[in-house]
């Protein structure tokens, strides 16, 4: 489950920022997770709740914002929404799609004390 490694990375980032930005506690973390990413939001939420104890994020809420999958179709020259990688173009049925968004995961915002 790579969500545990991702969660550990998020908590390391929060700990580093707590030192740099001089805050003591994280109240809420907002994550953007793309629809085309390989991250399972519920598994990530489970991991966050499991390992946040004893960190600056102890008791913190995790808010997940899903971002849509986006691609550019090289066959019909349209920007389109795709729900999964390797889906055909919903406009022309072509299979020459280049993903342009929705495959990322990032910390969007953090509420701290």
Mean pLDDT of residues grouped by 10 in the chain (113 residues)? Answer: 93 97 97 96 97 97 98 98 94 96 96 96
CATH of domain 2-68+101-112: 3.30.2320.50
Taking residue 38's Cβ as centre, other Cβ atoms within 10 Å add up to 11
CA–CA dist 51, 36 (Å, integer): 25
Question: What pTM was estimated for this model as a whole?
Answer: 0.86
CA–CA dist 13, 7 (Å, integer): 10
Look at residue 89 in the predicted model and tell me its pLDDT: 97
Q: Which two tokens stand for residue 87?
A: 């889906």
If 0-12 CB within 10 Å is exposed, 13-18 middle and 19+ buried, where does residue 1 land?
A: exposed
Phi then psi for residue 56, to 5 deg, are -65, -15
Look at residue 21 in the predicted model and tell me its pLDDT: 96
Taking residue 88's Cβ as centre, other Cβ atoms within 10 Å add up to 15
Look at residue 1 in the predicted model and tell me its pLDDT: 59
């Amino acid at each position: 489950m790579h969500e545990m490694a991702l969660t550990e990375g998020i908590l390391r980032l929060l700990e580093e920022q707590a030192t740099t930005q001089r805050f003591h506690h994280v109240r809420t973390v907002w994550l953007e997770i793309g629809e085309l990413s390989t991250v399972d939001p519920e598994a990530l939420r489970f991991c966050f709740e499991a390992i946040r104890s004893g960190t600056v994020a102890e008791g913190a809420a995790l808010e997940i914002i899903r971002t849509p999958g986006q691609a550019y179709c090289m066959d019909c020259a349209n920007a389109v929404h795709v729900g999964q990688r390797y889906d055909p173009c919903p406009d022309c049925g072509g299979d020459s799609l280049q993903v342009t968004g929705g495959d990322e995961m990032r910390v969007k915002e953090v509420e701290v004390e």
